[in-house]
Chain A
Amino acid sequence: MQYLMSVYGPAELTELGNYPDKETMDKAMAETGAFNDRLQASGHFVYANGLASATSATVVDGQVDPPVVTDGPYLESKEHLGGFWIIEATDLDQALALAAEGSKACRGKVEVRPFQVFDPQG
């Protein structure tokens, strides 16, 4: 079972990311790196990455011809997706335990959301 673990932050990132100072940023980076290593070693890791600032996003609507291109992120929001993991876990309890570790490491709240599985009833 795969879960998306997302971290949100402000649309514009400073040189320090969202971190208050360089020391905190360096620590968060190092601890997140160590957390990723643990995910790899335990077989939970599928993918992880951080995103450039949301202000660098572009929205494309290809349902019309020619496609409409708009500057900025899709949602008008104060908080935007800043980075994410995709993990493999047996169930939500395991995913939540990993998310707690990741949250502590990266110093942000983590949203845990399951990927869709084939649902015989739906």
Chain B
Amino acid sequence: MSEPALASDVAEAVTRAHQSDWARVVATLTKRFGDLDLAEEAAAEAFATAVERWPADGIPPNPGGWLTTTATRKAIDRIRREKKRGDKYREAMLVLDDEPLEPLGALDDERLRLLFTCCHPALAMEARVALTLRMVGGLTVPEIARAFLVHETAMARRITRAKQKIREARIPFRMPGAADLPARIDGVLTVLFLVFNEGYLATGPDTDPVRADLTAEAIRLTRLIRAVLPDGAARAGEVTGMLALMLLTEARRAARVSSSGELVTLDEQDRGAWDAALVREGHELVRSRALWVEASGEAPGRYQLLAAINAVHTSARDIRDTDWSQIVALYDQLVTIDPSPVVALNRAIAVAEVDGPDVALAAVDRLGAALDGYHAYHATRADLLRRLDRSTESRAAYDRAIELAGNTAEAAYLSRRRDQLG
């Protein structure tokens, strides 16, 4: 690798390597040195070195291997520097120095370990999200801070504290035991779903309504966990369901916000603008799960059902072709495993299409005590009241929904609907 490389080629190679190898490098070094902090710093240094050296030295034939080796050297340099300061603990770690490097292909389970460590239930949920995006996703602290509208220093502190807890309380870097695995995978999925939803329905007055970087990252990490989780493993179906759900949601992204920055609801979306490839992939995943459920008798989980609901929606060429009774049936199944008021609210929206808005409104009104602070509750009521020609009540409900909506595009949509009331 002595051939100089074009700046544009280097930039592309570094970006690609960052996407495919960042988590591997961090995971490999964490396993080797038992120190998440050191692994993160060394990985960041290795990528910085790549940016510096690849233009003159050329892009190495195996960028992932080059980055792992370079990061390992950086880590050892760092340990040696600290050893000079009389650091016996770090000195002991140098014993690992002679271990041969493992080929990258065998390390997939280490990325999974990294994900489990970052999503450990002993960490606060917001710390899990931040740590996962930094350590597994490779996002920078400023990027994560911007995504969650937190000051950079506050986000840096959040991540530092989480790493400190991992070190001090000795949160292990290993696969959870078989008994804990299903709950721990659920925990990882919750984090990934939070990342996805924050991207899909971003909050904050000055934020883009859709943060494609976050949705893409959540999809990438869900693909990763799906790829490394053995077939037939506990919750494998839920991981597939989550991926399908994300793909079918992401497929509608371009159609979901109008050129004027207003949310476009499902019934008004240009279905030709949906991403056909993502829809196809999502449908295939849902179908494969449905066949599995049929063959195994295993009850579908929450994410599989949500994916199936989205598959019904994305199968209809027009809103009028939607198989609403199928959707209500899927919600009936979902209610049995998740009897939360939010699920009941979404079920009521489908019920309105089958049994009429009056039946739906009666169901929605029963949720008022639980959901009064939730914008979607008021938006749903507003729409049902509008369809029942109860304009005054509808207007009041729109007002509440607009007041509570955190997403700019959604607030714009709700305002227009309110102003269209007769």
Contact = CB atoms under 8 A, between A and B. Distances in A.
B90 A96 contact: no
Interface string B214-241: 0000000000000000000000000000
Q: Interface centre among B87, B170, B180, by most A CB within 10 Å?
A: B170
A104 B375 CA distance: 39
B212 interface: no
Contacts of B171: 91-93
B89 A92 contact: no
Interface in B90-135: 90, 120, 122
B168 interface: yes
Given A96-B122, A120-B82, A91 B172 contact: yes
A119 B163 CA distance: 14
A1 interface: yes
Q: Interface centre among B82, B90, B168, by most A CB within 10 Å?
A: B168
A1 B167 CA distance: 12
B170 A1 contact: yes
Interface residues of B, number: 16
A118 B170 contact: no
Contact of A120 (B87, B169, B180): B87
Contact of B170 (A91, A119, A120, A121): A91
B187 interface: no
Given A1-B170, A114-B170, A93 B90 contact: no
Interface residues of A, number: 15
Contact of A114 (B89, B120, B169): B169
B356 interface: no
Nearest to B166: A92
Q: Main secondary structure on chain A at its contact with chain B?
A: loop
B90 A120 contact: yes
Given A1-B170, A114-B168, A114-B170, A92 B122 contact: yes
A86 B82 CA distance: 32
A93 B82 CA distance: 30
B89 to A, nearest CB: 4
A93 B178 CA distance: 13
A119 B170 CA distance: 12
Nearest to B180: A93
A29 B120 CA distance: 32
Contact of A93 (B87, B88, B168, B176): B176
Nearest to A3: B169
B171 to A, nearest CB: 5
Nearest to B168: A114
A117 B171 CA distance: 14
A109 to B, nearest CB: 14
Interface string B130-172: 0000000000000000000000000000000000000111111
A96 B120 CA distance: 12
Interface in A102-122: 112-114, 116-121
17 contacts: A91-B171, A92-B120, A92-B122, A92-B169, A92-B170, A93-B176, A93-B180, A112-B169, A113-B169, A114-B168, A116-B168, A117-B168, A118-B89, A119-B167, A119-B168, A120-B88, A120-B89
Interface of A: 1, 90-93, 96, 112-114, 116-121
Which 6 residue pairs of A and B lie closest in terms of their CB atoms, listed nearest first? A91-B172, A120-B89, A114-B169, A91-B170, A120-B87, A92-B169
Given A91-B172, A114-B168, 20 more contacts: A1-B170, A90-B170, A90-B172, A91-B171, A92-B120, A92-B169, A92-B170, A92-B172, A93-B171, A93-B176, A93-B177, A96-B122, A112-B169, A113-B169, A116-B168, A120-B82, A120-B88, A120-B89, A120-B90, A121-B82
